[in-house]
């Protein structure tokens, strides 16, 4: 491995590669070229080769990448070769929707506990999990070795929930509330903001401002 | 404006700027510096100045950017100065959750119709909208001038729904199914994949591999 420091852009692309590689693996496809990856994922093949070269030179010219080996390698780099336990805070529609991804995420990250501050929700089931009260948060995070929290509460509650997660020793947060959370520097926050994906689509409407492939990768 | 071609990375950052600028505007803050924007949004101030310089030189040294003017300008660039109508396909938990964002998205993009192929869902209400059958899709898209479709159906149905949207003349799709859709080149697809945000968090756990700010922006 070249270095401890992999740029955020690369780290964000690795799960995208992984998703498609898992699809190939399920279809028992043994190898894949950077051309095919590029075409399927709408990325420049040269960029893909550059990304994967970070982790050693395991593509073979004319044959491509070994799918199983690449999956193993990417999972190792992303530290997904052991299960990471996740808590979901907010048992509303979005929380329900996300809990359905557990099957898809199996053996990588897993939602193992769900919390809600709204009393009538406590004790109800989300798939196989029983919704717990916020007063159980710290204890459950300790007991289950939960390292990541997903916040799907209303905007007005999101910062308070983040504070409780930080206090309980969580290491990273995926935030679905469209606000900017304040957290200490050792807690990494990613914001899953679908409005950004949606609003940026508008730019491409109507006069068909298509980007050149190399333009897309210039920043 | 410098050019018709703005890189995808910049187009993706503009809604992020817009969100924070709207927050400032609501708090009646008149101006903001690239330093403050950088700090709040976890971006390099130099990158922000570069992004905004695409659209003309409207930051003033020592004063910063005029919040209202910048909002207006970004909305214009993203073509959000008029409402864009959106259809939501899939009235499940995720569809319900997304429809709640209509208030947040007001005057930009608006979900004006919801569809579901599951008969018992048809005729039920999601907020103020009545769920319509898929057989009404083409006609409603025409009648309401809908240009964007959001897909929140199960993976197995997503491609079929995309085909129907394309046939009905939709111009862009936001896809929440974790699969790669095949669409003709004139239809832009963004994938809102929370699993990418979640899985990439794993990389930052434990040994605290923190990135340098300039590393984050290097690609």
- Which one of A94, A104, A209 has the shortest CB-CB distance to B4? A209
Interface of A with B in 194-213 (CB under 8 A): 194-206, 208-212
Q: How far is CA A134 from the centre of its chain?
A: 24
- The mean per-residue pLDDT over the stretch B124-145 comes to 96
Q: How far is CA B118 from the centre of its chain?
A: 27
Q: Which residue in chain A has the smallest CA separation from B82?
A: A202
Confidence of residue A211 (pLDDT cuts 50, 70, 90): very low
For chains A and B, CB pairs below 8 A equal: 224
Name every residue whose Cβ is closer than 8 Å to that of residue B15 and which is 6 or more positions away in sequence. Answer: A193, A195, A196, A199, A200, B78
Residue A148 DSSP label: E
Name every residue whose Cβ is closer than 8 Å to that of residue B102 and which is 6 or more positions away in sequence. Answer: B110, B111, B127
Q: Is B44 annotated as a binding residue?
A: no
* Lowest model confidence (mean pLDDT) among A183-197, B93-107, B141-155, B184-198: B93-107
Q: Mean pLDDT for chain B?
A: 86
CB spacing of B108 vs A202 below 8 angstroms: yes
B125 neighbourhood in chain A, CB within 8 Å: none
Q: In this structure, what token pair is assigned to residue A120? A: 């009538």
Q: How far is CA A67 from CA A51, A64, A121, B88, B195, in A?
A: 16, 9, 43, 35, 20
Name every residue whose Cβ is closer than 8 Å to that of residue A31 and which is 6 or more positions away in sequence. Answer: A63, A64, A65, A66, A67
- The mean per-residue pLDDT over the stretch B185-212 comes to 77
3-class SS of residue A129: strand
Higher pLDDT, B211 or B106: B106
Is it the case that residue B212 has pLDDT exceeding 50? no
Q: Considering chain B, what percentage of its residues have pLDDT values greater than 90?
A: 50
In chain A, which ranges are E strands? 31-32, 59-60, 64-66, 84-89, 109-115, 125-126, 129-132, 146-151, 172-175, 188-191
Confidence of residue B106 (pLDDT cuts 50, 70, 90): low
Identify the pLDDT of residue A12: 85
In DSSP terms, which residues pair with A65 in a beta bridge? A32, A59
Name every residue whose Cβ is closer than 8 Å to that of residue B107 and which is 6 or more positions away in sequence. Answer: B83
d(CA A59, CA A65) in angstroms, rounded, equals 5
Per-residue pLDDT tens digits for A58-81: 667 777 899 999 999 999 888 888
CB spacing of B147 vs A205 below 8 angstroms: yes
**Burial state string for B127-163 with b = 16 or more CB within 10 A and e = fewer than 16:** eebebbebeebeebbeeeebbbbbbbbeeebbbebbe
Identify the pLDDT of residue A104: 72
Per-residue pLDDT tens digits for A39-59: 888 788 888 998 888 777 666
d(CA A96, CA B171) in angstroms, rounded, equals 30
Identify the pLDDT of residue A58: 65
Rounded to 5 degrees, what are φ and ψ at B62? 85, -15
For residue B123, the tally of other CB atoms under 10 A from its CB is: 11
Higher pLDDT, A159 or B204: A159
Q: How far is CA A66 from the centre of its chain?
A: 24
Interface of A with B in 146-185 (CB under 8 A): 147-148, 150, 152, 171-172, 174, 176, 178-180, 185
Confidence of residue A188 (pLDDT cuts 50, 70, 90): very high
Length of chain B: 219
User: How far does the CA of residue A94 sit from the closest CA of chain B (Å)?
Assistant: 5
Rounded-to-10 torsion of CA A99, A105, A110, A112: 30
User: How far does the CA of residue A203 sit from the closest CA of chain B (Å)?
Assistant: 5
Whether complex ipTM tops 0.90? no
Per-residue pLDDT tens digits for B15-74: 989 988 988 998 999 999 999 998 888 788 888 988 888 777 666 777 789 999 999 999
CB spacing of B14 vs A200 below 8 angstroms: yes
d(CA B117, CA B89) in angstroms, rounded, equals 9
Would you report the helix, strand and coil content of chain B in percent, each value rounded to 5?
45, 20, 35
CB spacing of B6 vs A104 below 8 angstroms: no
Per-residue pLDDT tens digits for A97-141: 998 887 777 678 899 999 999 999 999 999 899 999 999 999 999
Q: Mean pLDDT for chain A?
A: 86
Q: Counting Cβ atoms within 10 Å, is residue A12 exposed (0-12), middle (13-18) or buried (19+)?
A: middle
Confidence of residue A193 (pLDDT cuts 50, 70, 90): confident
| A105 touching B (Cβ < 8 Å) | yes
Identify the pLDDT of residue B208: 41
């Amino acid at each position: 491995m070249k270095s401890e420091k992999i740029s955020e852009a690369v780290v964000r692309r690795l799960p995208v590669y992984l998703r498609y590689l898992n699809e190939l693996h399920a279809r028992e496809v043994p190898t894949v070229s950077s051309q095919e990856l590029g075409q399927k994922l709408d990325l420049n093949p040269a960029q893909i080769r550059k990304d994967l070269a970070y982790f050693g030179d395991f593509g073979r010219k004319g044959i491509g990448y070994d799918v199983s080996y690449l999956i193993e390698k990417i999972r190792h780099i992303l530290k997904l070769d052991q299960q990471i336990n996740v808590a979901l805070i907010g048992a509303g529609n979005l929380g329900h929707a996300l809990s359905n991804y557990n099957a898809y995420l199996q053996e990588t990250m897993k939602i193992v506990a769900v919390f809600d501050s709204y009393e009538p929700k406590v004790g109800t089931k989300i798939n196989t999990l029983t919704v717990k009260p916020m007063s159980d948060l710290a204890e459950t995070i300790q007991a289950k070795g939960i390292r990541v929290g997903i916040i799907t509460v209303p905007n007005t509650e999101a910062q308070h929930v983040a504070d409780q997660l930080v206090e309980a020793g969580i290491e990273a947060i995926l935030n679905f509330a469209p606000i900017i959370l304040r957290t200490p520097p050792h807690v990494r926050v990613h914001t899953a903001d679908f409005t950004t994906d949606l609003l940026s689509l508008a730019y491409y409407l109507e006069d068909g401002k298509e980007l050149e492939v190399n333009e897309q990768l210039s920043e």
